[in-house]
Amino acid sequence: MSTPRITFIGAGAIGLPMAVRAAEAGTVTAVDTSALRLAEARAHGLQTSESLAAASPADIVLVMVATAQQAAAVLNGPQGVYATSGPGAVVVVLSTFGPAAMQKLAAERPAGGPVLLDVPVTGGIPGAVAGTLTLFAAGDAEAVEQIRPVLETMGKIVIAGPNIGDGQSYKIVNQLLATSQLVVAAEALAFAERLGLDTAKVFDAVKGGAGASWMLDNYGPRMLNADTDDIAARVDIFLKDAALVGETAEGVGFDGDMTRATVTVLERAVALGLAARDASAVIDVYRQH
C-alpha cells in the first residue's frame, strides 16, 4: 500500500487537521455533510465528497464522528462503509464512544467485510494540527502495521491490545485524568483569586511542582486570559467524555467518586451557558460563587 487511497469521514474541528496530516501518506478524500467544511478541506488541498456513495473506493477509511449512533449510520446500510468498501480495506474508528459501544459496532460488522480497528485519539485540536496526537490502537495487529505510516502522520501510536474496545478503554482512563484535572486546575486558580493572590505568579510557581499537570499547563493560561476566543476543546465535549467515563465505570461496577464530582462541575458550567466555550471557561463556575 505505497500510496493508499484514504477516505476521511468527518472533517470537523479536529477531523480536518487530522485529514490534512493523513494526506502526507496517501490521497485523501474528505467526506462531510457540511458544505463549509468541505470547502475548508478543498482549501487544504484535499479531495472532497458529500457522500460515501460518491467517493472513490478507498484502501483505508478513517472515521471521526461525534457519536456511536453516527458511526453506526456511517458504517452500516446500503450506502455505508461496509457496502462501499472492498474486503481488503481497513476501517479505523478514531472517535471516543467507550468500549461497550465500540464492541457493538464490531459485532455489526458483516462477515468477510473490511477489517475494523479501534483507534481513539487524545491531544485535542492543537495535537491534531501539530500531528502530535496519541492514538490508542486496538484490533488486528497486522492491520495496524499495514496502515502504520498513515496513523503516524497524526501522532504516536500506542498498542492498546488485540481486542476491539481496548483502545476505547485506554481512552476512557485518559479522559478520567483529563476531565478531572481540568476541573481541579480551574478550582485551584479560582481559589488563588479568592485568596487575593496574583494568579499569574501562582501559576508560574506551581506549574513545575508536584501539583503540575498537562491540563494546568495548557489550560491554566487560558483560564487567566479572559480574552481567549480560540477553542482548544469545548466545555460540552469535556462533559460528554466525563459522563462516558461514569457510564463505563458503572458498567464494570467501579465506584468513581472523582468522576461524579467532575461531571457535577461540568454540568454546572453548561447550565451557566458555557457549553460552546473553550474548556478553560470552567473556571467561571467557581468565580460565580
How much of the chain, in percent, has pLDDT values that exceed 70?
Answer: 99
Give me Rg for the CA atoms of the chain. 20
CATH number, domain 169-287, options 3.10.20.340, 3.40.140.10, 3.40.50.720, 1.10.1040.10: 1.10.1040.10
**pLDDT value at residue 54:** 84
Shared fold status for 5-163 and 169-287: no
Whole-number mean pLDDT of the chain? 94
**pLDDT value at residue 288:** 87
Spatial CB neighbours of 282, under 8 Å, sequence gap ≥ 6: 182, 183, 186, 223, 235, 238, 265, 266, 269, 274
Alpha carbons 243 and 248: distance in angstroms, whole number: 9
DSSP secondary structure of 241-264: HHHHHHHHHHHTT---HHHHHHHH
- 136-182 per-position pLDDT tens digit: 999 999 999 999 999 999 999 999 999 999 999 999 999 999 999 99
Q: Which letter, b or e, does each residue of 161-183 get, where b requires 16 or more Cβ atoms within 10 Å of its Cβ?
A: beebbbbbbbbbebbbebbbbbb
Provide the residue ranges of all domains of the chain, joining segments of one domain with +: 5-163, 169-287
The pLDDT of 198-207, averaged and rounded, is 97
Give the confidence band of 1 by pLDDT, cuts at 50, 70, 90.
low
CATH number, domain 5-163, options 3.90.550.10, 3.30.2230.10, 3.90.1170.50, 3.40.50.720: 3.40.50.720
Terminal Cα distance for the chain, rounded? 58
Alpha carbons 121 and 167: distance in angstroms, whole number: 9
Give, as one character, the DSSP assignment of residue 156. Answer: E
Give the Å distances, CA to CA, from 155 to 125, 129, 284: 12, 10, 33
**Sequence letter at residue 18:** M
The residue assigned the cell 491531544 is 123
Give the confidence band of 233 by pLDDT, cuts at 50, 70, 90.
confident
Give the confidence band of 228 by pLDDT, cuts at 50, 70, 90.
low
How much of the chain, in percent, has pLDDT values that exceed 90?
Answer: 87
Indicate which residue of 171, 201, 207, 240 is catalytic.
171
The pLDDT of 48-68, averaged and rounded, is 92
The pLDDT of 192-208, averaged and rounded, is 97
- 171 is an active site residue: yes
Alpha carbons 93 and 286: distance in angstroms, whole number: 36
Spatial CB neighbours of 81, under 8 Å, sequence gap ≥ 6: 9, 52, 61, 63, 74, 75, 91, 114
Q: Is the pLDDT reported for residue 227 higher than 70?
A: no
